[in-house]
Amino acid sequence: MDPCVVVAEKIAESGIETLREHCEVDLAIGVERSELISRLADAEGLIVRSATQVDAEMIAAAPRLRVIGRAGIGVDNIDLAAATEAGIVVVNAPQANIISAAEHALALMLAQARNIPRADATLRSGVWERSRFEGVELHGKTLGVIGLGRIGSLVAERARAFGMHILGHDPYVSQEHWRRLGVEMVDLDTLLSTADFITVHLPLTADTRGLLGKDALARVKPTARIVNASRGGIIDEDALADAVREGRLAGAALDVFANEPLTQSPLFELDQVVVTPHLGASTAEAQDKAGTDVAKAVVKALRGELVLSAVNVDLGTSVPEEVAEYLPVAETIGRVFTALAGGLPQSLTVRVAGRIGMGETRPLTLAVLKGALSGVSSRMITYVNAPALADQRGISIEQEASEVAEHYQSMVAVRGEVGGREVSVSATRTRKGPTLVEILGHDVELPVSEKMLIVRNADVPGVIGRLGSYLGDLGVNIANMVVGRAPDTGDAAMMGLNLDDPLTDEQLAELRRLEGIEEARYVSLG
């Protein structure tokens, strides 16, 4: 049965169609809160925009909910703490509106520089005036970009086409990113005192709220103009109005405000200020992408896959594509580890080696943890609740990284002690998918499958034949088989088998009694 996704607010039809390809869709657009809560009783997914308040009460009323999607960027209307505690992934559409928002910031800049709104209104009133609306060119001016994330970077790139010199301030952006953009990195004071135009592209946080207040605005040139198409509250609107009114600032252009909707403000009384009602994402293209992007993210989360844009999953700074490709490998060996160990260790060491060990490895550790817990818990394990559940079980996680992986371009290895016995398993990625390359100290190359048999045996003639005959008598077909020796011993060997048919506990117990079989573990990943 397909999972049910409740859509509580209008999204693009393309997003609805994406959902319907994989899910049962319940359109609950515009229903009362009580009705929405009732419909969430059996839902596994929920999609909202900004109007629906997804609080702890709503989350508690949806015991099967696995993912909440926000068709947009901001998630202020979603209780992230409650969602995280419940193991629910919260996803958004972080790139859906970036082009629209960047273009709107530039549109505001141009509108203010050339007095377009006032000139338009005057002409429509029947007055032809040119001398009143002399503006300024962007060419040759200095643009200060505060925040060089996705949108700020797009604004910087497009402003260069106008012939502007770009200054930037963002302590969280790498040197390579600065160089690639052709932006001069400066401190905030230098940017404020030097720039002819200042554009803000920051999230609203405790650190950024009121960032451009009275003191900051006092350092700005009287000929400068400020644009904000990111988040209201970053600029002190009263201080901004005072600066423009008193001639300490040439003008401003705002799309966002501290309190929205807003219909009265001192800024609205000033001719030098251009205002729009939060239109940054209001394009047909952005709305379509927001609906489609969040639908794809919800479907991916319902499949149990890691959504790289998940809001409440700590993935570090970024996830390179090559690392993302190894996530299924990492999750698989986590499950294989617990199957071989028969439980969880108190300390789990995750080693990432090779090309994938050169950058951020936290997502791979998270994937290992998810796989390991999935093998021993009846609860739904997600990338969201895996760290908390591991902490509850007293499991400490150690991460190791190396740029060198012997014999392979990249590899993920897991080891830990369970019941006084050290268990280890390593895997890489081949054209056949995740492939085990080390099991309990034995070198093998066993493609991962839903049904696997791992056997440690005496390295003597006849053992392989007895095992094959036993499985044949049971009617269990061997799809693939590999053998390997431990590098430091000649009296123990390992067999790894991909099976077409399952083994019962009784059959496994009988297999363990075969001559020469020292240990046998059946691993089911289905």
Place of tokens 């280890």: 424
The active-site residue, picked from 13, 17, 260, 422, is 260
Banded pLDDT at 318 (limits 50, 70, 90): low
Mean pLDDT of 203-207: 85
Q: What is the mean pLDDT of the chain?
A: 90
Is the backbone of residue 30 left (phi > 0), alpha (psi -120 to 50) or beta? left
What is the crossing angle of helices 98-113 and 150-161, to 10°? Answer: 50
In Å, how far are 259, 354, 356 from 361, measured between CA atoms? 40, 11, 7
User: How far is the CA of 100 from the CAs of 50, 95, 285, in angstroms?
Assistant: 18, 10, 8
Q: What is the pLDDT averaged over residues 176-196?
A: 92
Out of 70, 104, 201, 231, the active site residue is 231
Do domains 4-94+285-302 and 98-275 share one topology? The answer is yes
Per-residue model confidence (pLDDT) at position 488 = 62
- Going by their DSSP bridges, the two strands 165-169 and 184-185 should be labelled as parallel
Q: How confident is the model at residue 507 (pLDDT cuts 50, 70, 90)?
A: very high
State the average pLDDT over residues 332-350: 89
SS3 of 54, please? strand
Q: Is the peptide bond before 277 cis (omega within 30 degrees of 0)?
A: no
H or E stretch at 455 = strand 451-458
Q: Strands 433-439, 184-185: parallel, antiparallel or unpaired by DSSP?
A: unpaired
Give the whole-angstrom CA distance, residue 319 versus residue 82: 25
| Token representation of residue 468 | 């094959």
- What SS3 string covers 160-173? HHCCCEEEEECCCC
Confidence of residue 316 (pLDDT cuts 50, 70, 90): low
Are residues 9 and 47 in contact, defined by beta-carbon separation less than 8 angstroms?
yes
The superfamily CATH assigns to domain 4-94+285-302 is: NAD(P)-binding Rossmann-like Domain (3.40.50.720)
Q: Is 342 left (phi over 0), alpha (psi -120 to 50) or beta?
A: left
Phi, psi of 485 (to 5 degrees): -110, 150
Sign of CA dihedral 335, 414, 324, 102: positive
If pLDDT is split at 50, 70 and 90, which confidence band does 319 have?
low
Give 442's strand partners: 439
Instruction: Pick 98-275's CATH classification: 3.40.50.620, 3.40.50.720, 1.10.357.10, 3.40.50.300.
Output: 3.40.50.720
Res. 175 pLDDT band, cuts 50 70 90: confident
- Please name which of 213, 264, 215, 257 lies closest in space to residue 236, comparing C-alpha atoms: 213
Under CATH, which number does the domain 314-439 receive? 3.30.1330.90
Average the pLDDT over 269-287 and give the result.
Answer: 94
Question: What three-state secondary structure class fits 342?
Answer: coil
d(CA 208, CA 508): 61
Both tokens of residue 321? 């594509």
pLDDT per residue as tens digits for the range 424-471: 999 999 888 889 999 988 888 999 999 999 998 888 889 999 999 999
Respond yes or no: is residue 139 known to be catalytic. Answer: no
Known catalytic membership, residue 278: yes
Find tokens 């109005």 and name the residue. 241
Rounded CA gap, 275 and 278, in Å? Answer: 9
Residue 341: predicted pLDDT: 87
Neighbouring residues of 155: CB distance < 8 A, sequence distance ≥ 6: 102, 105, 106, 145, 199, 201
Give the Cα separation of 115 and 501 in Å (integer). Answer: 75
Q: Tens of pLDDT along 88-138?
A: 999 998 888 899 999 999 999 999 999 999 999 999 999 999 989 999 999
% pLDDT > 90, the chain: 62
Q: Say if CB 54 and CB 78 are below 8 A apart.
A: yes
Helix/strand/coil for 205: coil
Q: Among residues 150, 177, 278, 466, which one is catalytic?
A: 278
Quick one: average pLDDT of 297-313? 84
Domain ranges of the chain: 4-94+285-302, 98-275, 314-439, 449-526
Asked whether residue 203 carries a pLDDT value surpassing 80, the answer given is yes
Q: Which residue has the tokens 């009265």?
A: 264
Q: Which pLDDT does position 343 carry in this prediction? A: 87
Cα distance between residue 139 and residue 135, in whole Å: 12
CATH topology of domain 449-526: Alpha-Beta Plaits (3.30.70)
Q: How do strand 492-499 and strand 451-458 relate by DSSP bridges?
A: antiparallel
Question: What distance, in Å, lies between the first and last C-alpha atoms of the chain?
Answer: 17
52 in Cβ contact with 30 (< 8 Å) = no
- pTM (2 decimals)? 0.64
pLDDT tens, position by position, 2-37: 999 999 999 999 999 999 999 999 999 989 999 999
- pLDDT value for 339: 87
* Catalytic residue check, 165: no
